Structure 1
Amino acid sequence: MARQSSFIKLEGTIGDVTFYKGKNGYNARQKGGVPKSRIMNDPSFQRTRENLAEFARAATSSKFLKDAFREITLRSRDLRTHNRLYSTALRVIKSDPTSKRGERIIANGDITIFNGFQFSYNAMWESTVFVPFTVDNGTSDVTVNLNDFVPSKMLANPQGATHFRLFLVNAAVDFTEEVYRSQSIVGPEMPINITPVTGFSLALTKLGLAGHTDFYAIGVEFLQEVNGDFYDLNDRTHNAAKIILID
């Protein structure tokens, strides 16, 4: 690595030399590494090509699933949500028990590995909502029933929040055809006070799409009431959501 000493500081690539700004100033380095053509054709890089193929499928599948859950990622996510989805998708691909290395696909893998996925590590469901719930996976619908609870005691609500909403999202995904449909239900705005919430449930009718895997995720978002209107908090890092059922 060389350091630039000229009064003209360069950034970018000229020929085989890349100029860049680092923590110690402006530097320059020569391009190196194995040529792409060799990686893609040399028999000694067969394992590398196999890995690259599966990495690419994991990247595509994770972005696809993130898009399918856009209703949640608009409300609850962290800076590494996509990376964590990618890592989980790669684990699913590697669990494919039938395909050869480099040809494994997410549709043949253990999709249940996604179950329990937290959309935000800043606000995990279990450390935000301290309310037990049950999931009723019926023939025609999925219902989430929460135990009775006192919001001010059972929610880790952020400063400035006066109300909260619970929501349930269903993403029906066909990884092979790369198509999906999403639906959601959002509960009413409820005050964060000592009044008990009783008999609360959220339900969605199953889409019943052939060839699709149904993901269900529950979430909570915090709001502030001002003169009768409800506003999202500027800081959404306290909103939590996680996948609770894969059907």
Structure 2
Amino acid sequence: MKFNIDNMATYESFLKINGTVGDLVFYNLNGKNVVRKKSGFNKNAFKKSASYEKVRQNSSEFGHCSKIGKAFRQCLESYIKECDDALLYQKFAKLMTEIKDLDIILDKGKRNVKNGIATDAGLQMLRDFQFGNIPSLENSVSISAGLWDYSLVLNKNINVDEIIVETLKIDFEEYQSEHFKEIISAEKPLNEYVFFKHFSEDDVLFHFVVLKKDDEIIKMGFV
């Protein structure tokens, strides 16, 4: 048997070992026999020890950002599939973390995306995010609120035949989300289109717009 033990190493042997021997753990990983030393991780120490305080803070905030990212993505699943980007979930989770870092209200370990996205910089980061190779909206679309509806203004240089508006309702406390899809025909040469309000004005809402030409998405993103 040949060993080259660091934190983790492969080994060669006619014996196939799975399990723990002393302070070594043997298992199979992707078809290779692997051995590593026990980590010595102590669950109770992680929860209570001051030396783990920073780790606990990062872990708590990471879990929060991951859940909020999932709440957003669940509303946009059909469009995310069009992106053909295997790393998009990780990129969006990173975006949520960067937005969370803008929270100056709560202490580290308790910072959240809701406070970060309420800032101008946080909202702009969400708007600038590019989904895969599909261009973001940049300055192509703007939305203003009326009494009963919204007005969507399209840049006159953009040529589309269909506009999809997704209104997202995000519950930042319960990590839940809902969305309402509205399709607007843009065949007429107009630059301003009306779509209806959905959900309550007391809810935290976001608008995601998809611009299509000949049934192909040419731009999409948050407004």
Range of TM-score over shorter length: 0.7 to 0.9
Runs of 4+ in 1 over 6 A off after TM superposition: none
Decide whether the 8 Å contact of 1:118 with 1:125 is kept in 2: yes
Q: Give the 3-state SS of the residue equivalent to 1:28 in structure 2.
A: strand
Cα distance in 2 between the residues matched to 1:222 and 1:30: 57
Instruction: Report what 1:114 is aligned to.
Output: 126
Q: Give the 3-state SS of the residue equivalent to 1:109 in structure 2.
A: helix
Decide whether the 8 Å contact of 1:123 with 1:240 is kept in 2: yes
Instruction: Report what 1:176 is aligned to.
Output: 173
- Where in structure 2 are the equivalents of 1:68-107 lying within 5 Å? 68-76=75-83, 78-107=85-114
Cα distance in 2 between the residues matched to 1:69 and 1:189: 22
Q: In the alignment, residue 83 of structure 1 is paired with which amino acid?
A: Q
Structure 2 gaps, min length 5: none
Instruction: Report what 2:150 is aligned to.
Output: 141
Q: Which has the higher contact order (CA 8 A, sep 6+)?
A: 1
Provide the TM-score with structure 1 as the length reference. Answer: 0.67
Q: Give the 3-state SS of the residue equivalent to 2:58 in structure 1.
A: helix
Instruction: Report what 1:14 is aligned to.
Output: 19
Instruction: Report what 1:51 is aligned to.
Output: 58
Identity %: 15
Q: Describe the shift of the 1:165–1:26 C-alpha distance in structure 2 as closer, same or farther (beyond 3 A).
A: farther
**Cα RMSD (Å):** 3.4
Q: In the alignment, residue 48 of structure 2 is paired with which amino acid?
A: N
Cα distance in 1 between the residues matched to 2:211 and 2:16: 49
Cα distance in 2 between the residues matched to 1:210 and 1:166: 23
Q: How many residues align?
A: 206
Cα distance in 2 between the residues matched to 1:146 and 1:98: 36
Q: Describe the shift of the 1:208–1:22 C-alpha distance in structure 2 as closer, same or farther (beyond 3 A).
A: closer
Within the candidate set 131, 136, 144, 1:125 is matched to 136
Within the candidate set 193, 199, 207, 2:190 is matched to 199
Out of 78-87 and 207-216, give the one that drifted further: 207-216
Structure 1 gaps, min length 5: 152-163, 191-196, 225-231, 233-237
- Where in structure 2 are the equivalents of 1:195-234 lying within 5 Å? 198-199=189-190, 203-220=194-211
- Where in structure 2 are the equivalents of 1:54-65 lying within 5 Å? 54-65=61-72
Cα distance in 2 between the residues matched to 1:33 and 1:59: 27
Q: Residues 45-90 of structure 1: CA distance to partner in whole angstroms, max 9, x if unpaired? A: 1111111111111111111111132343244452122212211211
Q: Give the 3-state SS of the residue equivalent to 1:125 in structure 2.
A: coil
Q: Residues 182-238 of structure 1: CA distance to partner in whole angstroms, max 9, x if unpaired? A: 122335598xxxxxx7326554212252442222222245768xxxxxxx8xxxxx7
Cα distance in 2 between the residues matched to 1:95 and 1:145: 30
Q: In the alignment, residue 147 of structure 1 is paired with which amino acid?
A: K
Provide the TM-score with structure 2 as the length reference. Answer: 0.73
